[in-house]
Amino acid sequence: MCVFPTLSRHRVPVQALACGLLAVAISTPAGPARAQEPGDPQHGREVFQRACQPCHDAVPGSHQVGPSLYGVIGRTVGTAQGYRRYSKALKQAEGAWTPERLNRYLSDPQAMFPGQRKQYDGLKIPQDRVDLIAYLHHLAE
């Protein structure tokens, strides 16, 4: 039984509401809900080969049409050393590539950075994004 101190004449409704909120808080997992499983770097490597490798490499300093994605997590957007073909949209972006930011970008690159040169629709399967990010993170370990 849920018992809270009485609050004026609204004792029963306030107590019922408080007990209901407490029940929801107890049954809700801490932190944001995750729809995906933890990242699988091996599957992420396959996603990279299929979706990224036509334009990007995973070797440090080895740039193709796009910059090397080695060490991308934690790197400031638009700053791969030795790569000079960034669009104005990416050169003006602020902040670093975090796993969360990469996930958003990979879901819809044009929406995140309108005006960029990249002609890519993104990875529509959430687990593919999670696995790819796990692979990219694993590269730099």
pLDDT of residue 37: 64
Q: Establish if 35 belongs to a structural domain.
A: no
Q: Establish if 70 belongs to a structural domain.
A: yes
Identify whether residues 66 and 105 lie together within a single domain.
yes
Q: How does pLDDT run across 95-139, given as a tens digit for each residue? A: 999 999 999 999 999 999 998 877 788 999 999 999 999 999 999
- The Cα diameter of the chain in Å comes to 72
Query: CA–CA separation, 112 vs 92, rounded Å?
Result: 13
pLDDT of residue 141: 82
Domain extent at residue 13 = 1-28
Identify whether residues 68 and 2 lie together within a single domain.
no
Angle at 115 between CA 109 and CA 116, to 5 degrees: 55
- Count of the separate structural domains present in the chain: 2
- Out of 26-40, 66-80, 103-117, the most confident range is 66-80
The reported pTM is 0.72
> In CATH, what number is assigned to the domain containing residue 107?
1.10.760.10
Q: Establish if 86 belongs to a structural domain.
A: yes
Q: Establish if 34 belongs to a structural domain.
A: no
Is residue 24 a contact partner of residue 41, using CB atoms and an 8 Å limit?
no
Is residue 45 a contact partner of residue 56, using CB atoms and an 8 Å limit?
no
